[in-house]
A and B are shown apart, each in its own frame.
Chain A
Amino acid sequence: MGQKKPAKILLVDDEPNILVPIEFLMLQQGYEVRKAFSGQEALDTLSEFKPDVVVLDVMMPGMDGFEVARKIRKLSALRNTRILFLTAKGAEEDRMKGYSTGGEVYMTKPFDNDQLVQVISEVLEFG
Chain B
Amino acid sequence: MNPLYIILALIGYVGLLFLIAFYADQRATRGASLVRNPLIYALSLAVYCTVWTFYGSVGRAAEAGVGFLPIYLGPALFAPLWWIVLRKIILISKNQRITSVVDFLSSRYGKSTWLGVLGTVVVVVGIIPYISIQLKAIAFSFQHLTHSGRVPGPVVEDLPFFLDPGLYVAVALALFSILFGTRNLDPNERHEGLVAAIAFESIFKLVAFLTVGIFVTFGLYKGFGDLFQQAWKLEEIHSLLDLKQVGITSMDWFWLMLLSLFAVLLLPRQFHLAVVENTSTDHIGRAAWIFPLYLFLINIFVLPIAFAGKMLIPPALAEPDMFMVDLPLMNGQGYLGLLAVLGGFSAGTGMVIVSTIGLSIMISNNVVVPLLLRTSTVREGWVDDLSKRLLGIRRLSIAIVLLVAYAYFKWIGRQYTLVSVGLISFAAVAQFAPAIFIGLYWKRATRIGAMVGLSLGFLIWFYTLLLPTLAEVHFMGVHIVENGPWGISWLRPDALFGLKGMNNITHAAFWSLLLNTGGVVLVSLYTSQRTLEISQADLFVEIYKYQTGVSDYDVIRRRASLQDVTLLLNRFLGEPRAGSLLQSYSRRYGKDLSKEKMADPDLINFAETHLAGAIGAASAKLIMRSIAKEDPISLEEMFRILEQTQEIIRYSRELEHKSAELVQTTHQLRQANERLKELDRLKADFITTVTHELRTPITSIKALSKILQENPGLPPEQRDEFLGILVSESERISRLINQVLDLEKTAVDRAEWKVEPVELNKLIQHSASGFRQYLEEKQIQLRLELPDAPVWVSGSEDPLTQVFVNLISNALKFCDAGKGIIRVGLEPGEDRVVAYVADNGIGIDPKDQQTIFGQFVQVSNNELGKPTGSGLGLYISKRIIERYGGRIWVESEPGRGATFFVALSPATPG
Query: Chain A residues in contact with chain B, CB under 8 A?
Result: 14-18, 20-22, 24-25, 28, 37-39, 59-64, 88-89, 109-111, 113
Residues of chain B within 8 A of A62, CB atoms compared: 864-865
Which single residue of chain B is at the shortest CB-CB distance from A89? B692
Given contacts A88-B691, A111-B699, A113-B707, 20 further A-B contacts (CB under 8 A): A17-B696, A17-B697, A18-B703, A20-B721, A25-B707, A37-B817, A38-B817, A39-B865, A59-B866, A61-B813, A61-B864, A64-B865, A64-B866, A88-B699, A89-B692, A109-B696, A109-B698, A110-B698, A110-B703, A113-B706
B707 and A17 contact, CB distance less than 8 A: no
B768 interface residue (CB < 8 Å to A): no
Query: Interface range on chain B: under 10, 10 to 19, 20 to 34, or 35 or more?
Result: 20 to 34
**C-alpha gap A28/B707 in the complex (Å):** 10
Q: Are B865 and A60 in contact (CB under 8 A)?
A: yes
Given the known interface contacts A37-B817, A88-B691, the answer about A15 and B866 at a Cβ–Cβ threshold of 8 Å is: no
CB distance from B496 to the nearest CB of A (A): 112
Which of A18, A38, A39 makes the CB contact (< 8 A) with B700? Answer: A18
Which of A17, A24, A25, A61 contacts B866 (CB under 8 A)? Answer: A61
Q: Which residues of A contact B816 (CB under 8 A)?
A: 38
Given A15-B700, A37-B817, also A59-B865 (CB < 8 A): yes
* B238: Cβ under 8 A from any A Cβ: no
* B positions within 8 Å CB-CB of A: 691-692, 695-700, 702-704, 706-707, 710-711, 718, 721-722, 725, 728-729, 777-778, 813, 816-817, 864-867
B692 to chain A, nearest CB (A): 5
Among the listed A21, A28, A109, which residue makes an inter-chain contact with B695, where contact means beta carbons less than 8 Å apart? A109
Known contacts A61-B866, A88-B692, A110-B698; is-contact A17 B729 (Cβ 8 Å)? yes
Q: Are B778 and A17 in contact (CB under 8 A)?
A: no
Residue of A nearest to B722 (CB): A20
B703 with A59: CB separation less than 8 A: no
Is the Cβ of B692 less than 8 Å from the Cβ of A59? yes
Q: Is A37 a contact of B702 with CB atoms below 8 Å?
A: no
The reply to whether A110 and B778 form a contact with Cβ atoms under 8 Å apart is no
B696 and A61 contact, CB distance less than 8 A: no
- How many Å lie between the Cα of A64 and that of B862 in the bound state? 9
Q: How far is the CB of A24 from chain B (nearest CB, A)?
A: 6
Q: Which residues of B contact A16 (CB under 8 A)?
A: 777-778
Return 20 A-B CB contacts under 8 Å, by A number: A15-B700, A17-B729, A18-B696, A18-B700, A20-B700, A20-B704, A21-B700, A21-B706, A28-B711, A39-B865, A59-B865, A62-B864, A62-B865, A64-B865, A88-B691, A88-B699, A109-B699, A110-B703, A111-B703, A113-B703
Contact with B704, one of A14, A21, A61, A63 (Cβ below 8 angstroms): A21
Q: Are A22 and B865 touching (Cβ within 8 A)?
A: no
- A87 → B minimal CB distance (Å): 9
| A18-B696, A20-B704, A38-B817 as given contacts; A63 in contact with B865, CB under 8 Å | yes
- Which chain B residues border A89 with CB–CB below 8 Å? 692
Docked pose: A87 CA to B418 CA in angstroms = 136
Chain B positions within 8 Å of A109 at CB level: 695-696, 698-699
| Bound: A22/B696 CA distance, A | 13
Chain A residues with Cβ under 8 A from B718's Cβ? Answer: 24
**How far apart are the CA atoms of A60 and B711 in the complex, in Å?**
31
Q: Bound complex: CA of A25 vs CA of B722, how far in Å?
A: 13
B725 touches A20 (CB 8 A): yes
Given A63-B865, A88-B696, A109-B696, verify A22-B703 contact (CB < 8 Å).
yes
Query: Shortest Cβ distance from B573 into chain A, in angstroms?
Result: 102
A37 to B710, CA, bound (A): 27
Q: Is the CB of A18 within 8 A of B699?
A: yes
On chain B, the residues within 8 Å of A28 by CB distance are 711
Residue of A nearest to B688 (CB): A89
Closest approach, in angstroms, between the C-beta of A120 and any C-beta of chain B?
14
Question: What is the bound-complex CA distance between A117 and B777, given in angstroms?
Answer: 25
Given A16-B777, A59-B865, A61-B813, the answer on whether A21 and B707 have CB atoms closer than 8 Å is yes
Measured CB to CB, the nearest residue on chain A to B776 is A16
A14→B817 CA distance, assembly (Å)? 9
A-chain residues with CB within 8 Å of residue B702 when the two chains form the complex: 110-111
- Establish whether residues A25 and B700, one from each chain, have CB atoms under 8 Å apart when the complex forms: no
Distance to closest chain A CB from B590 (angstroms) = 89
Q: B695: which A residues are within 8 A, CB to CB?
A: 88, 109-110
Give the interface centre of B703, B722, B778, B813 by most chain A CB atoms within 10 Å: B703
- Which residues from chain A contact B697 at a C-beta distance below 8 Å? 17
Residue numbers in B under 8 Å from A15 (CB-CB): 696, 700
CB-CB under 8 A from B706, the residues of chain A are 21, 113
Which chain A residues lie closer than 8 Å to B778 at the CB level? 16, 37
Query: How far is A25 from B710 in the complex, measured between Cα atoms in Å?
Result: 11
Q: With A24-B707, A61-B813, A110-B695 known to touch, is A17 a contact of B865 (CB < 8 Å)? A: no
What residues of B have a CB within 8 angstroms of the CB of A110 in the complex?
695, 698-699, 702-703
9 tightest A-B contacts by CB? A21-B703, A59-B866, A88-B695, A109-B699, A110-B699, A17-B700, A64-B865, A110-B702, A88-B692
Interface core residue of B696, B710, B865 (most chain A CB under 10 Å): B865
Question: How many Å lie between the Cα of A24 and that of B867 in the bound state?
Answer: 28
Residue of B at shortest CB range from A19? B700
A108 nearest CB neighbor, chain B only: B695
What's the least CB distance linking B839 to chain A, in Å?
13
B697 nearest CB neighbor, chain A only: A17
Residue of A nearest to B779 (CB): A37
Which residue among A14, A20, A22, A62 has the maximum number of chain B CB atoms within 10 Å of its CB?
A: A20
Q: How many angstroms from the CA of A64 to the CA of B863 in the assembled complex? A: 10
Residue of A nearest to B694 (CB): A88
Query: Known contacts A17-B728, A20-B722, A109-B696; is A25 also within 8 Å of B865 by CB?
Result: no
- Minimal Cβ-Cβ distance residue in A for B817: A37
Contact A60 B866 (CB under 8 A): yes
**Closest chain A residue, CB of each to CB of B864:** A61
Chain B residue nearest in CB terms to A40: B816
A113 to B692: give the CA distance in the assembly, Å.
Answer: 19
Q: Do A61 and B728 form a contact, CB below 8 Å, given A21-B700, A109-B695?
A: no
Specify which chain A residues have a CB less than 8 angstroms from the CB of B704 in the assembled complex: 20-21
Shortest CB-to-CB span from A84 to chain B, Å, is: 15
**Chain B residue nearest in CB terms to A109:** B699
Residues of B within 8 A of A24 (CB): 707, 718, 722
- Report the Cα distance A62→B725, complex, angstroms: 25
Within the complex, the shortest CB–CB distance from A92 to chain B, in Å, comes to 14
What are the residues of chain A within 8 A of B725 when measuring CB–CB?
Answer: 17, 20
Which B residue's beta carbon lies closest to that of A24?
Answer: B707
Q: How far does the alpha carbon of A14 sit from the alpha carbon of B814 in the complex, in Å? A: 12
Most buried by B among A15, A21, A22, A28: A21
Q: Closest residue of chain A to B729, judged by CB?
A: A17
Give the chain A neighbours of B722 by CB distance below 8 A.
Answer: 20-21, 24
Q: Within the assembled complex, what's the spacing in Å between the Cα atoms of A14 and B699?
A: 13
How many Å from the CB of A69 to the closest CB on chain B? 14
